[in-house]
Chain A
Amino acid sequence: MQKNIIEKIWDEHVVKAHDEGPDIFAIDVMLLHEVTSPQAFAELRKRGLNVFQKERLFSTVDHSIPTDSSRHKPSDPLAKEQIDTLRKNVKASGVKLFDIDSGEQGIVHVIGPEQGITQPGMTLVCGDSHTSTHGAFGALAFGVGTSEVGHVLATGCILQQRPKTMRVNFKGMPPANVYAKDIIMALIQTLGVDGANGYCIEYSGEWIKGLSMEGRMTLCNMSIECGARAGLVAPDQVTYEHLKGKPHAPKGEQWEKAVAAWSHFVSDSDASFDHELDLDLSQLKPMVSWGTNPEQSVNILGSIPKLSDLPEDKKIAGKKALDYMGFDQSRDISGIPIQWAFLGSCTNGRIEDLRVAAEIIKGKKVHEKVTFYVVPGSEQVQDQAEKEGLTEIFKEAGAIVRKPGCSMCIGMNSDKVPHGERCISTSNRNFIGRQGTGSYTHLASPATVTASAIEGKITAAG
């Protein structure tokens, strides 16, 4: 029988199928962080259960740690307790921790791939919705809640309903200034924030074949923003070259065996999907969000919509968004003054993102009215950026280079956009108050964010 890649991975992980309910579904790897794991470890202790297959679990601290020199000693006592709780829990259960200053700490979705933990054909979960990032390697990866984190800790399995499958076929090639971030934002605009609820997506098309692993990670990362729990790209030579030699990737003879096994994880030529969608890339332009959810975006040459332009079912949400964002009349998105710019997060905090930004800002200055935070996604990214001279370029330009963490994407530490100020951000969500109570967020690519930081207003990169 012809199967698509999602069905292949699913079928290889069903421990026990259930006709009328969820399957017992095997999880190969789980990543843990400080925010969504403490209650799960506590539940195991309460029930007298042990951690199962600790060698399949990996942890780090990223969400609530500060990104300045206080990262060793957070001033927020609750954040400190949360971080210490993770340390205690993983130590007691023998789970690997990529801790601060190990050279390996970072945002959980940046370090999984860096360590070669994320591999094709595997199932991977984490208590974080952007776990879809790991789909870039042809893994079926999705976010789970804390109860399910506990289920995987104790049994290596969760109960899971088989998802519907969708294929997104990217047609043609995008113009040079259009990046993976712009393309996923355009897709979310097309599908809507709930357009892929209940689905896992396979991304395919000629463009994907030439896309770097960093680009594929950005693409898969935001799958959840159109409701899909997982999005993935079939593994190919680009995947294997990226993975080879990473610490947890197989070595020697095992590598050959692995590649042979992984090559099976592609959709068969006649495989069907529950839904297929084409998206033409050739006419796309850089995207910027104008509203308070990721579907409310427009191309950078476009205008913020008038309420009357919006379809009937989007009017209530549209009005709330326009009111909150302070747009009482239609205007061009380009030229809107900003006070903050943020380059980082699990969406765009990788070395390639920093290279794009550094190229644009080299020899220029951050606008005097803008604070530009550059937050590497991991200590490896930070080290590489220093080695390549990127950090120096950012500092010369007047940007503030911080230590690795989730930072201003989620605002769980002191990295917040102040009340009433506007930020252009490479992160993934523009929900009300996400970057700080009373703040305004415009999502965009690293190129657009950097060009805007220089001009002090929303600006397309050259």
Chain B
Amino acid sequence: MPNYIDRRLNPKDKSLGNRQRFIRRARDELKRAINEQIRTGRIGDADGKHSVPVPVRGTSEPSFSLDPTSGEHEHVLPGNKQFRPGDKLRKPPGGGGGQGSGGEPGSGGDADDDFRFVLSREEVMDLFFEDLELPHMVKMNLKEAIRYKPRRAGFTTSGSPTNINVARTMKNSFGRRLALNRPKREEIDALVARIAVEEAKPKSEARRRTIAALTEELDRLERRRRRVSYVDPMDIRFNRFEQQPIPNANAVMFCLMDVSGSMGEREKDLAKRFFVLLHMFLSRRYERTDIVFVRHTHEASEVDEETFFYSTRSGGTIVSTALAEMKRIIDERYPFDQWNIYAAQASDGDNSRDDSGRCIAMLDQDIMPLCQYYAYVEIIDRRESDIFRTTENGTALWKAYKQVSEAWETFQMTRIAEPADIYPVFRELFAKDQSVGHG
């Protein structure tokens, strides 16, 4: 009779420790590969919802082995068909026979090179945003936090009746009754019964005296019972609550984009990638992240995502309409003391001539005081990128925004010419060491 053991209910993940060691080991390599993928733009398209296979090179296990292409070998093979001794077969170019590598179970082999490691979205994001940080987290500071949440903080002797802590109160009452020797109900009942018994018996002098003593005793007990109350005000305890400030956990992100005719598919695609990245980033930091899409030509409106990215309208370009729309939405739905407000604006830099001044004024007075962070991304032509990158020169909007960025540390602006720029730019905007002493 064999010994059968059912191991199916044993804990799984016996090799979890090994997997963790492996991820730690491959961390740098994975990070590099993920950054590479973001740069080539694959994550942005899919919004990072699916797992990302990552080639791993840094985890090879070297050992000495013989080079099968050198020297002389004799291979014994099955399945001869027509060969005779002395027949010559041309070697396939590139050396090495056809590597089938199938069939055999457990043929571990050296598959190191094309080994791909599938990470979950969470793991990817963790690695990807590892050294980025939300800049200017003003509202995360406790002193500015507006929301409070009551938190239990011990007991107090005063408070509202709804907060009475019965258990604690009764404990005090019991202790006091014990200490002051409050007569119990049973004691008094027993005494009353005894008096009744005595009175029922035939009367005599001795018995009358006994009854008098008993009655006096009963009197005394009852007096004491009245004096030492069951629950005294001094027993009562209330739960104490403290108002604890909690950090703001909501963020809203405004995506402003120029959709006039000058923004082609390429420009919008770049803008979208940037917005997607920003959204993924914010949603990792905040419990709740709202996105508001505002598009504008010569007038601005709030739209849904689909319309935002995929429909074009024609018309002039008046940027300040978008800012006005944003201000309106903030006033209406996102009180600035409860929401962390982020804005990202993408544009090709065109603006009608007299509007830029208005933009500066609006940003300066209305928007920037409410905003945690405002990123302006100008999407330029590849040919322009060489001209503009180095100089302070630029489009009308660029020049105007330059003034704002000088006045506000929380205003950042940058240019993007192709997908590969997005991630570096993103890092530049959100790099950790950018920490700014606020105030």
Is B a genuine binding partner of A?
A: no
Q: Using CB atoms and an 8 Å cutoff, list the residues of chain B in contact with chain A.
A: none
